[in-house]
């Protein structure tokens, strides 16, 4: 019994020793104020050592996958859009495809560097678009035309311009287009329609065969002042194909003493009707129409008008600078009595206002 009592007393003392109050050795001091141990731990931040990369990645990616996944992740993160869309992008962000501690690139990502695009020259922005669907450049033939009624134009002659062409209608009959081109017809404007119900009977044949011979070709409409502009535009659109390789369409505005329509409208009404017609063609063909006119009609109706449209001017006795002072032009019709192999009848002769290089740029931006 005494041995058991002594054991109990010893056990009780040990318990009381474990439950004693905190003494001076259990208190930390900051300055002169003592703080309990728990408060001291909260006040003094604990420093942690760096976590080894292998310890982190081992819990996410198997060690063998760390090296192989790094380059793939860089490519997806910095080389631009992810092929396959959002679904693939999401799948690459799952834990099986990530590595901890992947460094950010020090330089700007390549995908963010946009190429420098040179501006389009202003003259090309303003020029009508044509021949956009073909490749290469067409050959420029020197003119060999004759004239039944030759004119001395003075200092600046038609022969001084390198690019010549013609315009035709049913009155030229059957044409040998290959031969006509070899004589210097580098372009042709073909009569398509009159008013609101007349189609030149040779238009479709001339349209196809001139293209087969390699000429740059366009179509023109003879405007009637006794028909509405809208129905005339509809008639032209109905009969002239929308060909991206064609030259811009032409509106022919002049007085015609042989027409049954004898109306003479005010200049304001003339320009209003022209605008309706040209707007409708431009919307349909995607090209700004060319205005063809003659001296008397121009003087009465078109001086200082339509300054942002290309003009095709008839001047068979003097240079256009004399007949249409101050007017910029793109084509000059210098003869109505031209003679050429390949055509039995007389033919209208024209020149383009510019060099061969400018012709290629204007008519097709360097395309055939």
Residue 201 vs residue 24, higher pLDDT: 201
pLDDT of residue 183: 97
| 331: β partners | 312, 352
Query: 252 by DSSP, 3-state: which?
Result: strand
**Residue 136: its pLDDT value, please?**
60
Using one digit for the tens of pLDDT, what is the confidence trace for 100-131?
333 444 443 333 333 333 343 343 333 333 33
Q: What is the pLDDT of residues 82-95, one digit of tens each?
A: 333 333 333 333 33
pLDDT in tens, 49-66: 443 433 433 333 333 433
Please name every residue paired with 220 in a beta bridge, in sequence order, or none if there are none: 191, 250
Residue ranges of domains in the chain: 123-364
Residue 354: band (very low, low, confident or very high) from pLDDT cuts 50, 70, 90: very high
Can you give the three-state secondary structure of 157-225, one letter per residue? CHHHCCCEEEEECHHHCCCCHHHHHHCCCCEEEEEEEECCCEECCCHHHHHHHHHHCCCEEEEEEECCC
pLDDT tens digits, 185-225: 999 999 999 999 999 999 999 999 999 999 999 999 999 99
Quick one: what percent of the chain has pLDDT higher than 90? 58
Give the model's pLDDT for residue 263: 78
Mean pLDDT for all residues in the chain = 74
What is the reported pLDDT for 106?
Answer: 44
Indicate left, alpha or beta for 290 from its phi (over 0: left) and psi (-120 to 50: alpha): beta
Residue 264 confidence (pLDDT): 87
- Exactly one of 254, 345, 356, 357 is catalytic; name it: 254
| pTM metric for this prediction | 0.64
> What is the average pLDDT across 253-268?
85
Distance CA 359, CA 354 (A): 6
Interhelix angle 229-239/267-285, nearest 10 degrees: 30
CATH architecture type of domain 123-364: Alpha-Beta Barrel (3.20)
Question: Is 90 exceeded by the pLDDT of residue 181?
Answer: yes
Cα separation, 152 vs 317, in Å, equals 8
Best CA proximity match to 140, nearest among 178, 81, 173, 182: 182
| pLDDT tier at 365, thresholds 50, 70, 90 | low
Calculate mean pLDDT across residues 27-55.
Answer: 40
Q: Which residue has the higher pLDDT, 287 or 366?
A: 287
The distance in angstroms from the start CA to the end CA of the chain is 126
Q: Which of 206, 213, 152 is nearest to 178 (CA)?
A: 213
- What is the reported pLDDT for 138? 85
Q: Is 268 a catalytic residue?
A: no
């Amino acid at each position: 019994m005494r041995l058991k009592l002594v054991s109990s007393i010893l056990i009780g003392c040990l318990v009381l020793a474990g439950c004693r109050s905190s003494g001076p050795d259990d208190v930390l001091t900051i300055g002169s104020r003592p703080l309990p141990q728990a408060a001291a731990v909260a006040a003094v931040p604990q420093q942690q050592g760096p976590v080894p990369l292998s310890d982190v990645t081992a819990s996410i990616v198997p060690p063998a996958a760390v090296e192989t996944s790094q380059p793939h992740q860089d490519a997806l993160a910095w080389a631009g859009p992810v092929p396959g869309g959002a679904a693939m992008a999401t799948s690459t962000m799952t834990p099986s495809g990530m590595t901890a501690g992947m460094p950010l690139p020090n330089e700007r990502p390549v995908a963010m560097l946009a190429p420098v695009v040179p501006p389009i020259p202003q003259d090309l922005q303003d020029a009508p678009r044509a021949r956009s669907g073909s490749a290469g450049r067409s050959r420029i033939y020197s003119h060999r035309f004759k004239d039944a009624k030759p004119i001395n134009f003075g200092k600046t002659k038609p022969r001084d311009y390198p690019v010549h062409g013609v315009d035709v209608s049913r009155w030229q009959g059957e044409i040998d287009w290959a031969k006509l081109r070899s004589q210097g017809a580098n372009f042709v404007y073909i009569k398509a329609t009159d008013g609101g119900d007349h189609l030149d009977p040779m238009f479709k044949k001339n349209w196809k065969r001139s293209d087969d011979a390699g000429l740059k070709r366009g179509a023109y409409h003879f405007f009637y002042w006794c028909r509405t502009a809208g129905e005339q535009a509809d008639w032209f659109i109905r009969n002239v194909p929308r060909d991206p390789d064609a030259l811009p369409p032409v509106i022919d505005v002049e007085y015609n003493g042989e027409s049954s329509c004898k109306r003479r409208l005010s200049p304001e009404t003339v320009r209003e009707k022209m605008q309706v017609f040209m707007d409708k063609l431009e919307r349909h063909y995607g090209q700004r129409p060319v205005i063809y006119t003659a001296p008397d009609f121009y003087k009465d109706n078109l001086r200082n008008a339509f300054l942002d449209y290309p003009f095709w001017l008839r001047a068979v006795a003097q240079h256009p600078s004399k007949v249409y002072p101050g007017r910029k032009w793109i084509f000059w019709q210098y003869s109505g009595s031209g003679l050429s192999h390949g055509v039995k009848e007389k033919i209208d002769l024209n020149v383009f206002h510019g060099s061969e290089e400018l012709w290629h740029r204007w008519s097709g931006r360097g395309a055939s």
